[in-house]
Amino acid sequence: MKVYGRITVFPNMPARISRLYELAYNLWWSWHPEARALYSTLDAELWERVGHNPVRFLSEVEPYKLEQAAEQAEYLQAYDSVIKDFDHYMHPRPDETWFSSSYPELVNTTIAYFSAEFGLHESVPIYSGGLGILSGDHCKEASDLGLPFVGVGFLYPQGYFHQRITRDGVQEAIYDKLHFSETPAIPAVGPDGNEVVISVDLPGRRIYAKVWKLMIGRVPLYLMDTDVAPNAPADRELSARLYGGDREMRISQEIVLGIGGVRALRALGISPSAWHLNEGHAAFLNLERCRELVATGLNFNEAREVVAANSLFTTHTPVPAGNDAFSFDLIDKYFSSYWGQLGLNRDQFIDVAREDQGWGATYSMTVLALKLSDHHNGVSKLHGEVSRKMWQFLWPGIDVDEVPIDYITNGVHTFSWIAQEINVLFGRYLDSDWGRHVDEQAFWDQHIDALPDKELWRVHVQQKEKLIEYSRKRLIQQHLRLGEGSTQIAEFGQILNPEALTIGFARRFATYKRAALIFRDLNRLHKLLNNPQRPMQIIFAGKAHPADEPGKALIEQIYRASRSEEFKGKVILLENYDIDMARYLVAGTDVWLNNPIRPYEASGTSGQKAALNGQPNCSILDGWWAEGYNGKNGWAIGEEREYHNQEAQAEADSLSLYRVLEEEIIPAFFERGSDDVPHRWVGFMKEAIRTCTPQFSMRRMVKEYTTRYYVPEVQQSKGMAENNYERARILAHWKEHIRENWNKLELYVDGRRDGQLSLGEGIDVHAWVRIDGLSPDDICIELVYGEIKNEIAQPQFARPMSFTKRELDGSYRYDIHLQPEESGSIAYNIRVVPSHPLLTEKYELGLIRWA
């Protein structure tokens, strides 16, 4: 029949356990194993069949199983205990969460977090990869820490695709309809009690989006869906797929996400005082906030000051395809009725986001986000550096090290990724309440040795066996579907050797991640995999973006290897990588391999998940691993450098990978003590746990975002709003004034240009500045000095020079005495930068004058 409506009908629930419903509608259950068990123990087979989705589970479970459970003492005890924990979690005392006890004055504010994808759980397929997982983990930790946090995104009716791999290794993308009635999302209601539907204008039409609410512990996530009645059929499909469709689809989605997202919050009666743009997809939100302010009487520059002051933009990738940009044609088509509402003309509007770095001018979402936010960060130390270089052109004249893009290294939500048995092990040997100490390095330093080698190894082997069993099941399913014969199917039931060193490689098949690097020298790989004394095997998994042909070719290459006589049973490719599979892999393989082209892996997080489960990483020194690697917690591939030639880079990296495997990893893994435990190997495992769990935890990360960005943003936004945005007006006018007069500034310096000094001696430096149209209060004059390394002067220190007097000719004189503290070769210079107490970033204007 043709479907008009679809409703999920639940059986009558015994009153004694009726709150199983409520629990199903809050993803809190997903990171609390006792809560998960309330469903899975009722009917383990059904729990698997419904993809661990408790909403579906409750609609399909046999009523008698509920009746039985409601009379079983053991079940009821578990139920009561979970409900008690849940209630306590949802309604903590004010001193019980980190945020409310650290910032009691800010508990009634709101931090809004925008992302195109959220990876929360396998049963809510609205994520594609690392960016989504990061957003999902961020929300969970924000909830755990008690942040007044709301997420904004899309509820994609078809989500991201399911991957199937054909007999020839070709990836097929299958889109299944996600029935919202079978997800934990419910229609969001506004203050008036009505369901919230918002609208945005697209060329020639208005389109509507319904807002859904999904609870992640204490954090609400608002998700928009355009599949609503007033929209034309094509527009109803607009939010159907994550990263699907053409450029028009993409810009329309981003308009709904950014502009519609702000309208959704307003309709819900929510006024955030800090805004976080997780990647550039949501950057239109800052335009919409400007538009709101322009409508109240501010001009665009003033509005920009208000918006930027409490806006944080996190950039996630140096890969060009990951930085959205649109042609000016598209911008004309979609925004010609919008820029007037900002008080801008077309050229001014486009200028805000113009990028012209050699491939033709485009409207860049990253530039838009950078220019309309005062706070910016990358996602690892190295990625911060790379981003400063990449976007330096927006701050011309500013040294690359001083480009205002900082970094906070990514982390993972510990309880979403730790295997239950490892969790229990930590509880037994580290501390029964170890979860409270996740981000405390001292806790791990102090307790890690209490973990007996033998126990950790036993539990690890158990995880590996679980993974093997899971892999066999998945391979059998896949090949039954492909119609293979019973002998082959029987082989898949025996595949993978629990004794072999098992390498895990699972992530999106983007080409920069070089999934096939280990296949560069087939002979050498063949020897590694087929050594009867020291066998090795590799499990691959991952999806390629449906439009990424080279990525799909990599899948094909690995699939063919997995079916070849040489590598059969030693190289495995599992289809449809998702959060569920990731949990098996990060706990169950022995070594987590990552070999991207440095420096394209902005952070990477799967290796962090592996490490906390006791799995050492073997990785290129890129992203988080460049910070995490300490020589004892895993292995480094290649050198800490970049190459100009990717072929040379791949050759060098693959040689390094083979060498590390042959000389370090394999010998350590197969060295067994008299008790059959590989103590040296377990040493690597423990060191991975000790060093990576706290440092790369989502808890450390969200605390950093809070103290370094959210809290200052909230405070700044208060100041900005006072007296009808007085500060914003002052700042905007001051900036206009500075920009008009900056070119007239003249600078003369008198100081020694070369020569020698003895340590303890110094030199005097004088500077004269002529600043027609400006006042000395508008500028800051600094002496900058530092060592000379490889013929490059490092601007290590900046010291303000003091104003001495106004000369007769009208110029201002500044003096300083420079006395180096160490011997060596140093360079110095004098610079002038605009200065104002209301500036967020010293170099916000991108103006600078060097002598």
Ligand X SMILES: *Cc1c(COP(=O)(O)O)cnc(C)c1O
Give the residues lining the site for ligand X (CB under 6 A). 129-130, 133, 507, 577-579, 582, 604-607, 609
Shortest gap between Cβ of 638 and ligand X (angstroms)? 17
Partners of 787 in the beta sheet?
Answer: 826
- CB of residue 586 vs ligand X: minimum separation in angstroms? 7
Residue 661: DSSP 8-state: I
If the CB atoms of residues 410 and 716 are measured against ligand X, the closer one turns out to be: 410
Structure tokens that stand for 256 in this block: 């709904």
d(CA 194, CA 188): 8
Instruction: Report the nearest approach of ligand X to the CB of residue 579 (Å).
Output: 5
Distance, in Å, from the CA atom of 126 to the CA atom of 331, rounded to the nearest integer, reads 27
Q: Which is nearer to ligand X, 185 or 510 (CB)?
A: 510
Considering the complex, state which of residue 681 and residue 696 has its C-beta at the smaller distance from ligand X.
696
Rounded Cα distance between 578 and 556, Å, is 19
| CB-nearer residue toward ligand X: 551 or 678 | 551
Token code pair at residue 612 = 């906390």
Q: How far is the CB of 609 from ligand X (least distance, A)?
A: 6
Closer to ligand X by CB, 122 or 521: give it: 122
Query: In the 8-state DSSP scheme, what is residue 773?
Result: T
CA 305 to chain centre: 27
**Cβ closest to ligand X, residue 273 vs residue 594:** 594
Which lies closer to ligand X via its Cβ, residue 364 or residue 606?
606
Say if CB 305 and CB 732 are below 8 A apart: yes
Least Å from the CB of residue 15 to ligand X: 38
Q: Least Å distance between CB 32 and ligand X?
A: 19
Nearest distance in Å: CB 702, ligand X: 17
CB nearer to ligand X: pick between 144 and 578: 578
Residues 6 or more apart whose Cβ sits within 8 Å of residue 773: 737, 740, 741, 744
State which residue, 136 or 846, has the beta carbon closest to ligand X. 136
Terminal Cα distance for the chain, rounded: 78
Closest CA to 9 of 56, 53, 77, 47: 56
Q: How far is the CB of 603 from ligand X (least distance, A)?
A: 7
Strand-strand pairing, 501-506 and 591-594: parallel
Smallest gap from Cβ 507 to ligand X, in A, equals 3
- What burial letters (b/e) apply to 750-770, b meaning 16+ CB within 10 Å? ebeeeeeeeeeeeeebebbbe
**Residues in Cβ contact with 267 at an 8 Å cutoff, skipping those fewer than 6 apart:** 190, 196, 198, 211
Q: Indicate the SS3 state at residue 759.
A: strand
Provide the 8-state DSSP code for 776: G
> Looking at this protein, which amino acid is placed at residue 535?
P
Longest dimension (CA), the chain: 99
Residue 166 sits at the vertex; the CA angle it makes with 160 and 169, to the nearest 5 degrees, is: 95
> At its nearest, how many Å lie between ligand X and the CB of residue 162?
13
Q: Show the tokens assigned to 338.
A: 């919008």
Q: Are the CB atoms for 255 and 335 separated by under 8 Å?
A: no
Contacts of 198 (CB under 8 A, 6+ apart): 208, 209, 211, 224, 260, 263, 264, 267
Q: Output the six-digit token pair for 799.
A: 């010291």
Residue whose CB is less far from ligand X, 109 or 594:
594
Q: How far is the CB of 742 from ligand X (least distance, A)?
A: 42
Q: Which is nearer to ligand X, 496 or 541 (CB)?
A: 541
